[in-house]
Structure 1
Amino acid sequence: MAPQSHLPLYQGMLRRPRVQSLIQQGLEYPLLILLAAPGYGKTQAMAEYLSQSNARTLWLRLGSLDNLYTHFWAHLRQGLERDFPALAKRLRTLEFPDTPSKFIVFHNVLSKEISGEGPVIWVLDDFGEINSPGMKTFFRMLTELEPENFRLVLVSNVPSSIQFLPLMSGRRFVITGENLRFTAEEIAELYRMHGVSLGPEELHRIEGYTEGWPLPLHILALNPAAIPGSQNDDGVLTHRRISSMFEERFFSAYSRPQQKLFAGLSLLHSFTRELMADLYEGDPADLEAAAGHAFIINEPATGRFFFHYLYCLFLQGKTHLLSSGEQTQVWRQAAEYYAAAGDAIPAIACFRKCGDHQGMLTAMCDCARTQHGITMGNADFFLEHLDLLTPEEQRNFPVADYLRALVHLNTLELEKTESLLLGLEQRLLAQDTPEALSLLGDVYASLGSLHMMETREDFGDYYKKASGYLPAGTNFKNKNKLLNLNNHNFSMADNQPGARERMEQAVHYGVPWASRVLAGGLSGMEYIFSAEASYLSYELDAAQQHAYRGIYKAEASAQHDLVCNGFCILARTAYIRGDSEKLQDHIQSITDYAERYELNALKEIRDTALAWYYIKLRDFKKIPKAILTINESEHPMLAYGRTQIVYANFLIAREEYAKLVGMLEYPKGLFLTQGIWQDRIALFIMRAIGYCQMEKPGAAMEALWTAYDMAYRNNLTTLFIEAEHFMLPLISLAREQREYAFDRQWLDHIDEQAGAFARRAAAVRASYRKQSTVKTGRPNPLTRREEEILRDLSRGLTREEIAVVYSISVNTVKSFIRTIYNKLDASNRAEAVSIAILNGYIDTPEFNEQ
């Protein structure tokens, strides 16, 4: 088989069958780890194995900047372009999976794209560079993937880099430095490859001197005359001696311009041919010295080059060959190269190194304008660089304070955000230049966003001001960027009479101004807001009318999240009316729409809607797994309020009341501190249900009163009616107690409506169960043993555990699983289990505690 050209493989190294056999053995496990100090040939050994493999391969060499979600996600997509183009394209529509629910979406996409086309191996080199908690969580989840044909390989110099990974007993294999040391036989073979036959004494001397360390062995073999101990060598191999080898064998052979080039490149984490050409002042043909260099590693998937770790340390010791001005020029040219290529994160880092703070700010602005520019994951990176500015630079570059405000807005530090923006407003008005006034427009847009987030009725005034300074729209948002995502729209500033009408009027005034400034963003949101407000007030006809108007307007401006949210309102309206057919149609519309556009935000809305649907129908086995993992997230409630509420509904349906109350005891973020949100009302209703079912009437009445107090003055009754039969004992308690002054007519109304809805909901569930009992007539293709194994998989057993149960080998279990997947036309475990349950081939497994 011809060697694969997309691997960081250096030709001319000794192929070691012993090590290749170890790697083959390790790839029988889902996770293979090559863990050894620098110079042990980890990269070469893995690349050598893959060069003779038919596996589709991704090879990424990680760096410190890959701790930033946005940079890693772009790096991953670029690396996938060659062998996984369809997956690379799909990832462009997905956000970095920084929560369990987002990771499940990523997992499903990955499983679909890699299934059925032979083995797939992903190699993450220099894994020791990863230290951020968020990235560690992502890689921990990646190691737990289930596709049969997928293997993950981690290559690292740092033992602590893998300590956060689960032990994964029977699921990971580790190759260490001891495994990679050369044996005496391999040393002799290496020298024979270079035309030297070692005698026993020479072989013993070399083995003792190097202790089998591959890197110095290869350097020594290139110069067979330099056998240790023969030329006043003290017989001790040190890093200083390694540096001397680099000097004698490689560096001294370079021309002076080449030496300066390599010393300069060692300042960078990676480089490209184009960047080398920009930096080199000599003959371009000289650059070919890098192409076949033993200690310059290529990452062909991205076109980047890296120095071997020890060689890089050696070259960094040669930076004295460069003046301080020449070193600065390396950083500057690298920064300009990355900025021109649209690679903002490394551009920011390089501008920092060369002291060009204005260039750094420009690159930060470029990054902020991208779809996922400033996030919680890279907020510290932005603040660290903004803190480098001197007081004079802060005065001269007001955009710095604007960027700082955007960081605080994205991390939900709203008081800091407003203070910065209001101070900046006065500065920019005083400057009164075209540049200042353009930035002022963005300041007003951000104040509008902030006030909207805080449910302030004046947010439209700020967007109107912004539109006067930004006739072409904001400088910091993409056209038609999705802004609502998987969140409800309705909110009120307070619970006073008329608050709903005031906020609805403010939204219908403010959203059109916001849409102008945001280049189409939020278009149609005013009607979706009115639809939710009407639904919550049990004005169902009005809710439908507003929802359809919102859907049509949102679709015209590609506000796909608002379209799906409109269908969600229609589905809720159909359900509360007891209309099974329309309920099913609207849920199908959400599913179809999410599939059509393949956007991560739409898949989250789809999964939330499907979870709500199947919870209401009590068909728990069809609930998307993404919803059942939502409570594992550490993200603020603002990011997933609706999904959290749906999960709480699941706990109510499962009668897990203690867990429900515990989950809802301390909601996070803005959820309880800004305005009146429908999810906030729902939260207290569900707490009341939980306490009531746990026979804690005092706590139940306190929670119900809190919800009542938020809703009563504005006639928001539907959330209480939605509680069905769970509301009836709460109404009885409310009538009996004397501490809280519930309106008696309101209690009677909710009692009547909730009871009637409980009967309609029961009829909807009965109709669904009747439809579900209709058999497809498809015969069960599984054998008895295949059913048993699939049932064990559905219960969470590993392949190794199943092998023990049936006293068969793991390979035999794998064969059974592949056959099962083929028979069911499934690409992974979850899909196979789901298909089998839906067709009645196996029973639904019991749920484990989340």
Structure 2
Amino acid sequence: MGQTTRSVRPNDTIATKLAPPCPPVAPVRRERLFRALAHGSANGVTLVSAPAGAGKTALVASWLASGAVAWPVAWLALDGHDDERRRFWTGVLAALARADPSDAGLAQLAVPPRGRIDRVFTELVERLAARTRPLVLVLDDVHELTDGAIHDDLAALLRHAPAALRLVLIARADPPLGLERLRVSGRLSEIRAADLAFDAAEARELLAAWGAPLDAVDARELWRRSGGWAAGLVLPALALRDHADPSAFVAGFGGDDRAVADFVLTEMLAGHPGDVRRFLLRTAVAEELTVELAVELGGRPDAAELLERLVHGNALVERLDGGRDGYRYGPLFAGLLRSELARTAPEELAELHLLLARWHERDGVPGAAVRHALAASAWELAAEAVADGWLRLLLDGELELLREVAERMPPALHRRWPEVALACAAAATAAGDAAGAATLLARAEDAAEDASGEAAGALPPARALGFARGQAVVELLLGRVCGDVERTTRAAAVLTAGRRAVPSGDGDAALADELRVAALAHLGATEAWCGELEAAAQRLDAALAGARERELDAIVLLARAHLALGEALRGRLVRAADGAAAALELAERHGWDATPAAATAQAVLASALLHWDRTEEADRVLARAERTVRSSGEPPLRALVALVRIGLLAADGAWDAAIARLRAAEAELRSWPLHAPLRARFAAHEALLRAARGERAEAGALLESARAAGPRPEHAAALGRLRLAAGEPASASAAVEPWLEQTVPRAVAVELWTTEAVARDALDDDAGACCALERALALAEPDGFRHELLALGPSLRDLLARTIRAGTAHRSFAGELLDALEHDGARPLALPEPLSGREEAVLRCLPTMMSNREIATELYVSVNTVKTHLKHIYRKLDAADRREAVRRARELQLLAPSRDQTYAQVG
């Protein structure tokens, strides 16, 4: 009996190929791309085309899992085994039959074992045309199909597709299916690599989903380095799960990461012929490629055609944006290619860097010329490029490159190239190293005048002019980092002298003009830190306008950050925060998050958030500034960062840590002419912190000493609060009264009037208390000062409630404050109202089983006196009863921990 020939049934296909993959973690909901897929499914055909690791399959699978598609979905995951016509159509029929089992006609279709299969194709089209309900067919990894017959079948299906069929094609490169016709007819929707790239917010969500919840700065940096490429985010996220120092990992992440490199080599490079791989490796050394440069680097006359093929083939090559003529590789892909070339052909890599250094020097692009010369260790070429272009690099915000010049270039070159010493001096000032900068400036001046030894003689006129400008720039920066307004003013005068119109095409005159704008900005920044706020605002406004006009974004950032600083020092919190946010947006756009100017804006924003009592947000923002000022930034910036950190530590009740931070900051700032309000704020903080630790006498002596050196309202505000806490309301009022009607920083004015209000209340002066509180609210509400009021805790609560009942012009704001005081009982007090000596004695008895009568007997007082002390203790500790008073006292370290707590700490 002969064998029975049977048709190839759909159930011959492996079941796992017929279902969308389940993501290993919760997928990121990418609503903008979900909308694009929904639009495509309504259109008829959607092409998702992007390189390996771009997140194509994950996107479509998560879209389907979201429930956004109400129709049956057929899924077929293709591989090399499907690159045969019968096997391919068997898989398609299996997917369709599984998607809608109720469609008997689809379930009956089968591929014949021999002969033509055109009839099956015709039957499929007819069966789909008979459907009234749409059906989605997803073909994943279409690039696995190379059989021309399959391409012809799919092209025919696209041409004759019934209205019910919605096709989604997922591929690493555009399949040859006649897509141009669909594109022209408007029936094709496309999602490409640029669309799939994660934005900063999506990247942070993806990293968290994969177990790497980075802070905003590290997440943005990893996103920037990855170019938003999904694999470039997920692979480092896996490595980050067990990494002790995420920030260090992110800082070092790049082309030498083995997991990412292996992925690229196996998934992306292996599919290209050897000559194309060589072209990719050689041309990736350049940051950007023109066709001419690609020909030079790649050694191929057909570079233009090859680059276009790579763009369309999703090889992580993209055209430059902004209408510029050229190409670039994704940042992570480029780094991986460079690392691979360094591993396999280091001599070739050095030659390419040298070629690029000379190319960019001829084109007048100093940054690229210096970078590639340093990479090639071509010191003379690097020195020449630095000498010609370091002022331009400074104006363009290339501080990291100048630091690299200072770290890598041999100091012996300074004799021949004194401009290099000037550039290194500028880098030192950015790091806050005034002594190092002064030494380098002196070395440069000696070399420029020396006509003997290794020096080439006195500088020729063209270099002498540039050197004189460079001298003035370093003097300007040194004056700023030393807080020397006179020195900065003298240097700025040199740079701003003889202002004139700049002829078109006169590069030297244009540079001089831009240096004038920079001089205004740096002088204004110095004046702002030294407290000359009006003069600073005028110069910074002029610098901001000039920098915008000349597209000097680094100077725009500097001016905006210090204008925000001036607003903060005046107490205009809203304007300060808005200005700081605008500065940070610009910094993030350029990758300047870790510059001193960005740190200034971060410190200003964190300060505003602290005043608004948004301490968690303030902590996150301040951490970014702290990371920067560890290695750069002038002393007053470090002072502001320290003050905000001290305020946050105090708000958490971490008084010892706050005092330690204060001590470290004072040691750093001893020789700097710190703005008087900032210096006074240090003394006020220390006094309040000492009092919080029970060192009341030392706190008072410290304030008296500070006042003797020069009385400030900050001292008076702190002294008033100390005396309030000591139960001396009359003395508290006397301390603040001389400053109440003076012009003082807004935050201090709020503290002064709030202290006066609480003091008047304690003196039973209801009218005076309400009047003083009304003044405090009037000062605080426009810019939202909350921290200064809430720091008084329970002593303000009853007065606020009475003021609201009596009627206030600030009902809403006062209500918010009262609500915070009533519902945030767990908040640590920056300065709890200290207990009197008798109250402390009663408090020490509370953890025992002693009754009120027994406590009275122990202390030789009446029971009524004990009850009065208990009432005061409960109010000062914001406690409802004896048990809560003991708990709060232990939290505030007013009582020793319980035995259980002690054992827990030891164990």
Class of the TM-score when normalised by the shorter of the 2 chains: 0.3 to 0.5
- Bigger relative CO (Cα 8 Å, ≥ 6 apart): 1
| TM-score, normalisation: structure 2 | 0.45
Which has a greater percent of helix?
2
| TM-score, normalisation: structure 1 | 0.48
Structure whose alpha-carbon radius of gyration is higher: 2
